[in-house]
Protein backbone atom coordinates (compact mmCIF):
# COMPACT_ATOMS: atom_id res chain seq x y z
CA UNK A 1 0.00 0.00 0.00
CA UNK A 2 1.41 3.40 -0.99
CA UNK A 3 2.01 5.83 1.83
CA UNK A 4 -0.04 9.00 2.13
CA UNK A 5 2.17 11.62 3.71
CA UNK A 6 1.64 15.35 3.87
CA UNK A 7 4.97 17.02 3.28
CA UNK A 8 5.52 20.57 2.13
CA UNK A 9 8.86 22.23 1.43
CA UNK A 10 9.02 26.00 1.76
CA UNK A 11 10.66 27.92 -1.05
CA UNK A 12 12.30 31.29 -1.38
CA UNK A 13 9.95 33.37 -3.47
CA UNK A 14 9.65 37.12 -3.69
CA UNK A 15 6.36 37.35 -5.60
CA UNK A 16 3.24 37.79 -3.49
CA UNK A 17 -0.39 37.13 -4.33
CA UNK A 18 -1.88 40.60 -4.59
CA UNK A 19 -4.19 42.63 -6.78
CA UNK A 20 -5.38 46.21 -7.03
CA UNK A 21 -8.51 47.05 -8.96
CA UNK A 22 -9.65 50.62 -8.52
CA UNK A 23 -11.11 51.08 -5.07
CA UNK A 24 -10.58 47.38 -4.22
CA UNK A 25 -7.28 46.32 -2.67
CA UNK A 26 -7.89 42.62 -1.94
CA UNK A 27 -6.99 42.77 1.76
CA UNK A 28 -10.21 41.30 3.20
CA UNK A 29 -12.86 38.64 2.68
CA UNK A 30 -16.38 39.44 1.54
CA UNK A 31 -19.36 38.20 3.52
CA UNK A 32 -21.44 36.12 1.12
CA UNK A 33 -24.15 33.47 1.16
CA UNK A 34 -26.11 31.49 -1.38
CA UNK A 35 -29.87 31.97 -1.65
CA UNK A 36 -31.26 29.70 -4.37
CA UNK A 37 -29.80 30.86 -7.69
CA UNK A 38 -28.50 34.07 -6.13
CA UNK A 39 -25.24 34.99 -4.47
CA UNK A 40 -25.87 37.59 -1.76
CA UNK A 41 -22.97 39.92 -0.95
CA UNK A 42 -22.82 42.28 2.05
CA UNK A 43 -21.42 45.61 0.87
CA UNK A 44 -18.20 46.55 2.75
CA UNK A 45 -17.48 50.12 3.81
CA UNK A 46 -14.99 50.90 1.03
CA UNK A 47 -17.59 50.12 -1.65
CA UNK A 48 -20.00 52.75 -0.35
CA UNK A 49 -21.17 55.34 -2.92
CA UNK A 50 -19.89 53.26 -5.84
CA UNK A 51 -22.31 52.18 -8.58
CA UNK A 52 -23.20 48.50 -8.91
CA UNK A 53 -21.91 48.48 -12.49
CA UNK A 54 -18.52 49.81 -11.36
CA UNK A 55 -18.32 47.11 -8.70
CA UNK A 56 -19.18 44.38 -11.19
CA UNK A 57 -16.57 45.66 -13.64
CA UNK A 58 -13.71 46.49 -11.28
CA UNK A 59 -14.02 43.92 -8.51
CA UNK A 60 -15.06 40.84 -10.50
CA UNK A 61 -14.33 41.98 -14.07
CA UNK A 62 -17.73 40.64 -15.09
CA UNK A 63 -17.78 39.59 -18.77
CA UNK A 64 -19.49 42.19 -20.99
CA UNK A 65 -21.98 39.68 -22.35
CA UNK A 66 -23.10 38.63 -18.87
CA UNK A 67 -23.26 42.24 -17.67
CA UNK A 68 -25.49 43.11 -20.66
CA UNK A 69 -27.71 40.11 -19.94
CA UNK A 70 -28.18 41.12 -16.31
CA UNK A 71 -28.94 44.68 -17.38
CA UNK A 72 -31.57 43.60 -19.92
CA UNK A 73 -33.15 40.93 -17.69
CA UNK A 74 -33.14 43.24 -14.64
CA UNK A 75 -32.11 40.34 -12.42
CA UNK A 76 -29.67 42.22 -10.16
CA UNK A 77 -31.20 42.83 -6.71
CA UNK A 78 -30.27 45.32 -4.01
CA UNK A 79 -31.80 44.58 -0.62
CA UNK A 80 -34.19 42.17 -2.32
CA UNK A 81 -35.47 44.66 -4.90
CA UNK A 82 -34.75 45.02 -8.62
CA UNK A 83 -32.40 47.91 -9.21
CA UNK A 84 -30.53 49.69 -12.00
CA UNK A 85 -26.83 49.01 -12.40
CA UNK A 86 -26.22 52.74 -11.95
CA UNK A 87 -27.50 52.56 -8.37
CA UNK A 88 -24.89 53.51 -5.75
CA UNK A 89 -24.57 51.20 -2.78
CA UNK A 90 -24.22 51.80 0.94
CA UNK A 91 -22.35 49.85 3.59
CA UNK A 92 -24.22 46.68 4.68
CA UNK A 93 -26.51 46.76 1.63
CA UNK A 94 -27.18 43.28 0.27
CA UNK A 95 -26.30 42.90 -3.40
CA UNK A 96 -27.69 39.75 -5.06
CA UNK A 97 -26.26 38.30 -8.28
CA UNK A 98 -27.93 35.41 -10.21
CA UNK A 99 -24.75 33.40 -10.79
CA UNK A 100 -25.99 29.89 -9.93
CA UNK A 101 -27.69 28.88 -13.16
CA UNK A 102 -28.52 25.20 -13.52
CA UNK A 103 -27.10 23.30 -16.47
CA UNK A 104 -25.60 19.95 -17.39
CA UNK A 105 -22.21 18.90 -16.07
CA UNK A 106 -20.52 19.31 -19.43
CA UNK A 107 -19.15 15.76 -19.08
CA UNK A 108 -20.66 12.36 -18.28
CA UNK A 109 -20.72 11.81 -14.50
CA UNK A 110 -18.80 8.63 -13.72
CA UNK A 111 -17.58 7.13 -10.46
CA UNK A 112 -13.87 6.47 -10.87
CA UNK A 113 -12.10 3.41 -9.52
CA UNK A 114 -9.82 5.59 -7.44
CA UNK A 115 -11.59 7.88 -4.97
CA UNK A 116 -11.10 11.59 -5.56
CA UNK A 117 -9.33 13.40 -2.74
CA UNK A 118 -10.97 16.81 -2.34
CA UNK A 119 -8.61 19.45 -0.95
CA UNK A 120 -11.03 22.40 -0.96
CA UNK A 121 -14.63 22.94 -2.06
CA UNK A 122 -17.27 25.64 -1.79
CA UNK A 123 -20.20 26.87 -3.91
CA UNK A 124 -17.86 28.33 -6.52
CA UNK A 125 -14.86 26.07 -7.02
CA UNK A 126 -13.31 22.76 -6.18
CA UNK A 127 -9.64 21.79 -5.83
CA UNK A 128 -8.74 18.10 -5.94
CA UNK A 129 -5.59 16.03 -5.63
CA UNK A 130 -5.17 14.44 -9.05
CA UNK A 131 -3.90 10.84 -9.11
CA UNK A 132 -1.50 9.53 -11.75
CA UNK A 133 -2.72 7.63 -14.82
CA UNK A 134 -5.76 9.82 -15.34
CA UNK A 135 -6.44 12.66 -17.78
CA UNK A 136 -7.75 16.03 -16.58
CA UNK A 137 -10.71 16.18 -18.98
CA UNK A 138 -12.23 14.16 -21.85
CA UNK A 139 -10.82 14.40 -25.37
CA UNK A 140 -14.06 13.13 -26.87
CA UNK A 141 -17.76 12.82 -26.03
CA UNK A 142 -17.46 9.10 -25.28
CA UNK A 143 -14.57 9.52 -22.82
CA UNK A 144 -15.81 9.18 -19.25
CA UNK A 145 -12.75 8.07 -17.27
CA UNK A 146 -11.18 11.48 -16.62
CA UNK A 147 -10.89 13.59 -13.49
CA UNK A 148 -13.64 15.88 -14.76
CA UNK A 149 -16.01 12.90 -15.04
CA UNK A 150 -15.21 11.89 -11.48
CA UNK A 151 -15.85 15.41 -10.19
CA UNK A 152 -19.16 15.52 -12.06
CA UNK A 153 -20.14 12.27 -10.32
CA UNK A 154 -19.14 13.74 -6.94
CA UNK A 155 -21.36 16.77 -7.57
CA UNK A 156 -24.23 14.58 -8.80
CA UNK A 157 -24.07 12.51 -5.61
CA UNK A 158 -24.31 15.76 -3.62
CA UNK A 159 -27.35 16.86 -5.63
CA UNK A 160 -25.51 19.78 -7.25
CA UNK A 161 -26.19 20.52 -10.91
CA UNK A 162 -23.49 22.70 -12.43
CA UNK A 163 -21.01 22.71 -15.28
CA UNK A 164 -17.55 21.39 -14.45
CA UNK A 165 -14.80 23.63 -15.91
CA UNK A 166 -11.08 22.95 -15.52
CA UNK A 167 -9.06 26.15 -15.08
CA UNK A 168 -5.70 24.55 -15.82
CA UNK A 169 -4.47 21.06 -16.62
CA UNK A 170 -1.93 18.53 -15.42
CA UNK A 171 -0.33 15.85 -17.60
CA UNK A 172 -1.89 12.42 -17.31
CA UNK A 173 0.96 11.07 -15.17
CA UNK A 174 1.47 14.21 -13.06
CA UNK A 175 -0.18 14.29 -9.64
CA UNK A 176 -1.30 17.09 -7.36
CA UNK A 177 -3.53 20.11 -6.91
CA UNK A 178 -5.83 21.05 -9.79
CA UNK A 179 -8.55 23.69 -9.87
CA UNK A 180 -12.08 23.50 -11.32
CA UNK A 181 -14.83 26.14 -11.40
CA UNK A 182 -18.43 25.23 -10.57
CA UNK A 183 -20.20 28.04 -12.45
CA UNK A 184 -19.58 30.38 -15.38
CA UNK A 185 -19.00 33.52 -13.30
CA UNK A 186 -16.21 31.95 -11.23
CA UNK A 187 -14.75 30.27 -14.31
CA UNK A 188 -14.50 33.55 -16.24
CA UNK A 189 -12.76 35.29 -13.33
CA UNK A 190 -10.32 32.41 -12.77
CA UNK A 191 -9.48 32.26 -16.48
CA UNK A 192 -8.38 35.91 -16.31
CA UNK A 193 -6.35 35.27 -13.17
CA UNK A 194 -4.55 32.40 -14.89
CA UNK A 195 -3.85 34.54 -17.95
CA UNK A 196 -2.39 37.30 -15.74
CA UNK A 197 -0.33 34.76 -13.75
CA UNK A 198 -2.25 35.45 -10.55
CA UNK A 199 -2.70 31.74 -9.82
CA UNK A 200 0.59 30.54 -8.33
CA UNK A 201 1.41 26.83 -8.53
CA UNK A 202 4.42 25.15 -6.92
CA UNK A 203 5.67 21.82 -8.28
CA UNK A 204 8.04 19.23 -6.83
CA UNK A 205 10.19 17.35 -9.33
CA UNK A 206 12.85 14.64 -9.02
CA UNK A 207 15.53 15.03 -11.68
CA UNK A 208 18.61 13.06 -12.69
CA UNK A 209 21.97 14.50 -11.69
CA UNK A 210 23.25 17.26 -9.44
CA UNK A 211 22.38 20.86 -10.26
CA UNK A 212 25.28 23.30 -10.49
CA UNK A 213 23.17 26.17 -9.14
CA UNK A 214 20.91 25.91 -6.09
CA UNK A 215 18.34 28.15 -7.74
CA UNK A 216 17.83 29.73 -11.11
CA UNK A 217 15.59 30.47 -14.07
CA UNK A 218 15.28 28.54 -17.32
CA UNK A 219 14.25 30.83 -20.21
CA UNK A 220 13.96 28.93 -23.48
CA UNK A 221 11.05 28.89 -25.93
CA UNK A 222 9.06 25.68 -26.34
CA UNK A 223 7.44 24.42 -29.54
CA UNK A 224 6.08 21.20 -31.03
CA UNK A 225 8.38 18.41 -32.14
CA UNK A 226 7.43 17.77 -35.76
CA UNK A 227 8.82 14.23 -35.52
CA UNK A 228 6.55 13.19 -32.63
CA UNK A 229 2.78 13.72 -32.13
CA UNK A 230 2.89 14.65 -28.42
CA UNK A 231 6.46 15.63 -27.61
CA UNK A 232 7.59 19.24 -27.24
CA UNK A 233 11.09 20.64 -27.66
CA UNK A 234 13.14 23.76 -27.06
CA UNK A 235 12.79 25.91 -30.18
CA UNK A 236 13.77 29.52 -31.00
CA UNK A 237 10.46 29.87 -32.88
CA UNK A 238 8.40 28.36 -30.06
CA UNK A 239 6.35 30.08 -27.36
CA UNK A 240 8.00 31.95 -24.51
CA UNK A 241 8.53 29.66 -21.50
CA UNK A 242 10.01 30.61 -18.12
CA UNK A 243 10.59 28.17 -15.26
CA UNK A 244 11.97 29.16 -11.83
CA UNK A 245 13.58 26.44 -9.73
CA UNK A 246 15.14 25.93 -6.32
CA UNK A 247 17.15 22.90 -5.23
CA UNK A 248 15.80 21.21 -2.12
CA UNK A 249 18.17 18.27 -1.73
CA UNK A 250 20.57 16.01 -3.60
CA UNK A 251 20.80 12.24 -3.13
CA UNK A 252 24.36 11.26 -4.11
CA UNK A 253 23.66 7.52 -3.88
CA UNK A 254 20.90 7.75 -6.47
CA UNK A 255 22.32 10.82 -8.23
CA UNK A 256 18.87 12.43 -8.02
CA UNK A 257 18.01 16.03 -7.09
CA UNK A 258 14.69 17.21 -5.69
CA UNK A 259 13.70 20.64 -6.96
CA UNK A 260 10.85 23.06 -6.36
CA UNK A 261 9.53 24.80 -9.49
CA UNK A 262 7.13 27.61 -10.25
CA UNK A 263 6.16 28.88 -13.68
CA UNK A 264 5.72 32.26 -15.29
CA UNK A 265 4.19 30.53 -18.29
CA UNK A 266 2.10 27.39 -18.69
CA UNK A 267 3.35 25.60 -21.78
CA UNK A 268 2.60 21.94 -22.40
CA UNK A 269 5.24 19.72 -20.69
CA UNK A 270 7.14 22.90 -19.70
CA UNK A 271 8.96 21.58 -16.62
CA UNK A 272 9.75 18.28 -18.33
CA UNK A 273 11.13 19.94 -21.47
CA UNK A 274 13.11 22.59 -19.62
CA UNK A 275 14.95 20.24 -17.27
CA UNK A 276 15.64 17.79 -20.08
CA UNK A 277 17.10 20.66 -22.13
CA UNK A 278 19.70 21.41 -19.43
CA UNK A 279 20.71 17.78 -19.05
CA UNK A 280 18.56 16.90 -16.03
CA UNK A 281 15.46 15.01 -17.24
CA UNK A 282 12.79 14.06 -14.74
CA UNK A 283 13.09 10.63 -13.15
CA UNK A 284 10.76 8.22 -14.95
CA UNK A 285 10.10 10.60 -17.84
CA UNK A 286 11.15 8.35 -20.72
CA UNK A 287 9.63 10.71 -23.30
CA UNK A 288 12.30 13.30 -22.46
CA UNK A 289 15.27 11.10 -21.59
CA UNK A 290 14.53 10.09 -18.00
CA UNK A 291 15.40 6.59 -16.79
CA UNK A 292 12.42 4.24 -16.18
CA UNK A 293 13.21 3.74 -12.49
CA UNK A 294 9.92 5.30 -11.40
CA UNK A 295 6.47 4.34 -12.72
CA UNK A 296 5.79 7.85 -14.10
CA UNK A 297 7.49 11.19 -14.50
CA UNK A 298 8.38 12.32 -10.98
CA UNK A 299 6.36 15.54 -10.96
CA UNK A 300 3.81 16.64 -8.35
CA UNK A 301 1.80 19.88 -8.11
CA UNK A 302 2.42 20.56 -4.43
CA UNK A 303 0.35 23.70 -3.90
CA UNK A 304 -1.88 26.30 -5.52
CA UNK A 305 -2.36 29.86 -4.28
CA UNK A 306 -4.70 32.62 -5.46
CA UNK A 307 -7.31 35.16 -4.43
CA UNK A 308 -10.77 33.59 -4.34
CA UNK A 309 -12.75 34.73 -7.41
CA UNK A 310 -15.86 35.59 -5.42
CA UNK A 311 -15.10 36.15 -1.74
CA UNK A 312 -11.66 37.75 -2.38
CA UNK A 313 -9.98 35.78 0.41
CA UNK A 314 -6.45 34.53 -0.10
CA UNK A 315 -6.35 30.77 -0.56
CA UNK A 316 -3.37 28.44 -0.42
CA UNK A 317 -4.09 24.74 -0.77
CA UNK A 318 -1.45 22.00 -0.41
CA UNK A 319 -1.71 18.55 -1.99
CA UNK A 320 -0.17 15.57 -0.14
CA UNK A 321 1.48 12.77 -2.12
CA UNK A 322 -0.94 10.00 -3.03
CA UNK A 323 1.55 7.51 -4.40
CA UNK A 324 5.15 6.48 -3.70
CA UNK A 325 7.19 9.53 -2.72
CA UNK A 326 10.63 8.00 -2.13
CA UNK A 327 12.03 9.41 -5.36
CA UNK A 328 11.04 12.91 -4.31
CA UNK A 329 12.32 12.93 -0.74
CA UNK A 330 14.91 10.90 1.10
CA UNK A 331 15.83 11.18 4.76
Q: Give the per-residue pLDDT at 206.
A: 95
In this structure, is the dihedral angle defined by the CA atoms of residues 121, 323, 194 and 171, taken in order, positive or negative? negative
Q: If pLDDT is split at 50, 70 and 90, which confidence band does 27 have?
A: low
DSSP string, 262-273: EESS--TTHHHH
> Is residue 91 over pLDDT 70?
yes
Own/partner pairs for 250-254, CB < 8 Å, 24+ apart?
Answer: 250/210, 250/211, 251/330, 252/210, 254/327, 254/330
Q: Give the per-residue pLDDT at 151.
A: 96
Tell me the H-state helices in 83-238: 147-158, 184-195
Average pLDDT over residues 254-278: 95
Q: If pLDDT is split at 50, 70 and 90, which confidence band does 137 have?
A: very high
* Contact yes or no for 155/110 (Cβ under 8 A): no
Most confident of 2-6, 9-13, 292-296: 292-296
Q: Give the per-residue pLDDT at 7.
A: 47
Fold of 202-300: Pseudouridine synthase (3.30.2350)
> Is residue 331 over pLDDT 60?
no
> Is residue 1 over pLDDT 50?
no
**Cα-based angle 52, 190, 86 (whole degrees, multiple of 5):** 10
Q: Give the per-residue pLDDT at 234.
A: 96
Q: Give the per-residue pLDDT at 102.
A: 81
* Range with the poorest average pLDDT among 135-144, 208-217, 232-241, 322-331: 322-331
Average pLDDT over residues 152-176: 94
Q: Give the per-residue pLDDT at 2.
A: 35
What average pLDDT does the chain have? 90
Q: Which residues are catalytic?
A: 171
The span from the CA of 300 to the CA of 317, in Å, is 14
* Contact yes or no for 94/42 (Cβ under 8 A): yes
Q: Give the per-residue pLDDT at 20.
A: 45
Instruction: Strands of the chain (E only): list them.
Output: 32-35, 38-42, 77-78, 81-82, 94-97, 117-121, 125-130, 165-166, 175-181, 200-208, 215-219, 222-224, 232-234, 242-251, 256-263, 299-307, 314-318
Nearest to 124 by CA among 188, 67, 176: 188
Pick the CATH number of 38-97 from 3.10.290.10, 3.40.50.300, 3.10.580.10, 3.40.50.720: 3.10.290.10
Higher pLDDT: 109 or 19? It is 109
Q: Give the per-residue pLDDT at 330.
A: 57
Domain ranges in the chain are 38-97, 202-300
Q: Give the per-residue pLDDT at 323.
A: 80
* Contact yes or no for 42/30 (Cβ under 8 A): yes
- Share of the chain residues as helix, strand and coil, in percent rounded to the nearest 5: 15, 30, 55
CA dihedral 205, 297, 111, 167 (to 10 degrees): 50
> Is residue 14 over pLDDT 70?
no
Amino acid sequence: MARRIVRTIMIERNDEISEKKGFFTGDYMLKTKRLGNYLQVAIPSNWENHAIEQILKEVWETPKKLLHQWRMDKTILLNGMQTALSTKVKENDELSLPIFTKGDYGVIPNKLQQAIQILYEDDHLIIVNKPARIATHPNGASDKTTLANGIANHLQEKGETCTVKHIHRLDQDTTGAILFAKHYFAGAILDKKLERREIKRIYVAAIHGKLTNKKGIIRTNIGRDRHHPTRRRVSPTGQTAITHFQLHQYNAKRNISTVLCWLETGRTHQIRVHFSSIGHPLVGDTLYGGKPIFHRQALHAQSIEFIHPITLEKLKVTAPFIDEMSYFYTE
